[in-house]
Structure 1
Amino acid sequence: MLQSTFFISTGRAAIAAALLLIGTALAISSASAAERQYYDILYKTQLDPESGLADVEISLSGAQLPTQLTLHLDPDRHKNLDGDSLTIEGENAVWTPKGKQDSIHYQFVIDAKKSSGSYDSRIINKWAILRSDKLIPPISARAPQELQSRATLEVVTPKKWNTLAPYVKDEQGIFQLKDPGRRFIRPKGWLISGRIGSRQDIIDGTDTVIAAPLGKNIRRQDTLAFLSWTLPELKKVFPQFPEKLLIVMAGDPMWRGGLSGTRSLFIHSDRPLISGNRTSSLLHELVHVGTGIRGDHESDWIVEGIAEYYSLQTLRRTKGISERRYQQTLEALKTWGEESPNLLVKRSSGPITARAVWVLHCVDTAIQEASDGKQSLDNVVTSLAADRGKVTLKKFRTLVNKAAGEEITLLDREFLEGKKKP
């Protein structure tokens, strides 16, 4: 009886201690929330097809503002900066906000032509397509730790134009910007404005919109249907895939390929959903959206290889292509990749990405064999997507070896440089 009483007393004491710890944690959390202070950022831009410019105003308001903001400008596109608290230092503009309200103005050159002669940003009298994170340059903020921003984006356009971005609009048509984990919020991702048509659906929890200028040969509904059977499979590997997705499509003179952005991507309307060689530019860019990773000076092959490998895997797993077709594609990529044996280069494309796909296929097989099928490359890329940000060869190798439970020699530097066989 004494022993039983002891256990009851001990149990009650443990429960009391646990409740005390929970209460303390909640109190600390509440105190932190109470100490948190906010200021508001309004990004307002007016699109002007005649001049090809966007007039931009950035306004701050709040009881306390950041002590300094540094805008990292593109001198060819950000022009005519003006503000009472603004100084230009080379390609940077340093803004020291004053009082409880302050603002700056500048103009942004919308058209941007690539070396091929096509555009990855364009405005005409009927529509505009651009990236909001080019419109608003990267900004470094200096502010107390407890000071955080709330941000909105207002886009002023010619009459009868509609604007879409990968954000929710309020009743006034103003975008409510979200960027979890960031104390200073700015718009990111693709933006389309003009006389446009769109199709929308909720696909496996992701609010998906396909938008393009009005016109013929834009496969909005086909693309939405394609995503309805591929996106759920993709999200099994990338469970943190965005809850909102905007896909912008257009024909010439826009870039004849695909370009990913935050919670969004652009793809040329002539690109097939599945090419004759069984690859998919759309799925490739969707993997980029899902991972959110970028390579360092020698790791772009990992980023591009993952995008191409998982576009193929998604088609295979959803029966979009047969196992035989999948194996044929891998063999074709292996042969093409022999033209560029060195993967450790700054930019991966063509035969470099082809070899990267084959290497990742071999790494995937090695992980599964070493772990008796308990782990695969899926576990590695899921971890990379959870961390997002920059990926390095060292980080990738560490995750691969952890999944395999042993060292995978396929990721030795000399093999990746094409100096030796595994």
Structure 2
Amino acid sequence: MRSAVHAPTRLLMLLVTALYLLLPGALQAKGLPYQLEYRLEFLPQSGQALVTITLDKGELLRSIRFDNLPERYEDITASGKLMVSATEVLWEPEAGSASLSLKVKINHERDPGEYDALMTRNWAIFRGDDLFPAVKTRFEDGAYAVATLDVVLPPHWTSVETGWPRKKGNTFRINNPERKFDRPTGWMIAGTLGTRRGDISDTAITVSAPKDSAVRRMDVLTFFTFVWPELQRAFVQTPDKLLVVGMGDPMWRGGLSGPNSLFLHADRPVVSENGTSPLMHEL
């Protein structure tokens, strides 16, 4: 006569079997985060930036694909398998540490004689969207990035500002919750700068411009102290950090917004005669 297996014992056996079957996947999941490091080095003499993308676990990404822009990109190299055509770049990273680098032209005229991206001997103003390619990726299931941006400045440049939180020195944490392959976007400024900072409610606000700029940095910060409570009531959630970049000619004579950041020409008023605010418009 067979002995009956009690219900609690049977349940325990089922749980042990399930855990045993799930164990390999659980162990594998621990390795799915990967380090994604962006490195940005300015080359003022050539008007370019050297962009390097490094992965610590190349095996988690099957392929990275982005549009080739020959008028802006050159000297594209990579470890692993790289295919470059006139219209597209396809990179299949090697296992372990893998990297891709390219030189990117910074200067861009939005209108004749007016720039929405410019690098001079002493400073650079640009959007990360224009330097770091927008990529299409194929991942191993569950892979996600822990991303940083490290900026290398020319010897006489003193600082860099972005709309991303500073980790230390010239390294910033990049976290796009909606992306598995984080990308440093938004306005950025580097060089010999004049910068003012203030904390308003839960937002760290930075106003930065080249030292020789006529940007009224303290006027901008003071204006924010008055309007920020209204912004919070209207939008409920406000960013952890906001960067305002300014400069006069030959930059574009207007305002342009970006993720966690905006640009405003030095000649644009904080509040116009008709009571409107270019600054508020971009926010």
Match of 1:134 among 127, 130, 136: 130
**Following the alignment from structure 1 to structure 2, what is the Cα–Cα distance between the partners of residues 79 and 236?**
47
Q: 1:96 to 1:63 in 2, by over 3 A?
A: closer
Matches within 5 A, 1:72-221: 72-84=67-79, 85-161=81-157, 162-215=159-212, 217-221=214-218
Tell me the distance in 2 between the aligned counterparts of 1:135 and 1:254: 18
**Counterpart for residue 50 of structure 1:** 45
Cα distance in 1 for residues equivalent to 2:127 and 2:156: 21
The answer to whether the Cα contact below 8 Å between 2:59 and 2:94 also exists between their aligned partners in 1 is no
In structure 1, C-alpha distance between the alignment counterparts of 2:165 and 2:146, rounded to whole Å: 14
CA distance in structure 1 between the aligned counterparts of 2:154 and 2:172, rounded to whole angstroms:
18
Please report the TM-score for the alignment, with normalisation by the length of structure 2. 0.85
- State the distance in 2 between where 1:219 and 1:246 align: 14
- SS of the counterpart of 2:116? strand
**Which of structure 1's runs of 4+ aligned residues deviate more than 6 A?**
31-34
Q: 8 Å contact 1:203–1:232 — kept in the other structure?
A: no
Q: Which residue of 2 aligns with 1:35?
A: 29
Corresponding residue for 1:261? 258
Structure 2 residue ranges without an equivalent (≥5): 1-21
Q: What are the superposed Cα offsets for residues 16-38 of structure 1, whole Å, 9 maximum, x if unpaired?
A: xxxxxxxxxxxx9xx98983511
Aligned length: 257
* Offset at residue 144 of structure 1 (A): 2.3
Partner secondary structure for residue 222 of structure 2: helix
Distance 1:227 1:172, change over 3 A: closer
Query: Contact 2:164 / 2:172 at 8 angstroms: preserved in 1?
Result: yes
Q: 1:274 to 1:38 in 2, by over 3 A?
A: same
User: CA 1:63/1:88 → structure 2, altered by over 3 Å: closer, same or farther?
Assistant: closer
| 1:91–1:256 Cα change, 3 Å | same
Contact 1:65 1:100 in 2 (8 A): no
Task: Name the structure where strand makes up a greater proportion of residues.
Answer: 2
State the alpha-carbon separation in 1 of the partners of residues 217 and 267 from structure 2: 12
Moved more, 34-43 or 65-74: 34-43
- What is the alpha-carbon distance in structure 2 between the residues aligned to residue 103 and residue 157 of structure 1? 20
The one-letter code matched in structure 1 to 2:142 is: E
- Overall identity of the aligned pairs, in %: 36
Compared with structure 1, are the counterparts of its residues 34 and 205 closer, same or farther at alpha carbon in structure 2 (3 Å cutoff)? farther
Return the offset for 1:150.
1.0
**Distance in 1 (alpha carbons) for counterparts of 2:252 and 2:26:** 47
CA distance in 1, matches of 2:237, 2:83: 40
SS at match of 2:207: strand
> Shift of residue 240 of structure 1?
2.5
What CA distance in whole angstroms lies between the structure 2 residues aligned with 1:132 and 1:282?
21
- Unaligned 5+ segments in structure 1 are 1-27, 287-422
Contact 2:58-2:93 within 8 A present in 1 as well? no
Distance, in Å, in 2 between the alignment partners of 1:262 and 1:243 is: 12
Distance 1:216 1:62, change over 3 A: closer
**Larger relative contact order (Cα-Cα within 8 Å, sequence gap ≥ 6):** 2
Matches within 5 A, 1:18-417: 35=29, 37-62=32-57, 64-84=59-79, 85-161=81-157, 162-215=159-212, 217-286=214-283
1:157 CA displacement: 1.2
Distance 2:261 2:27 in 1: 32
- Letter of the 2:270 partner, please give it: L
Greater percentage in helix: 1
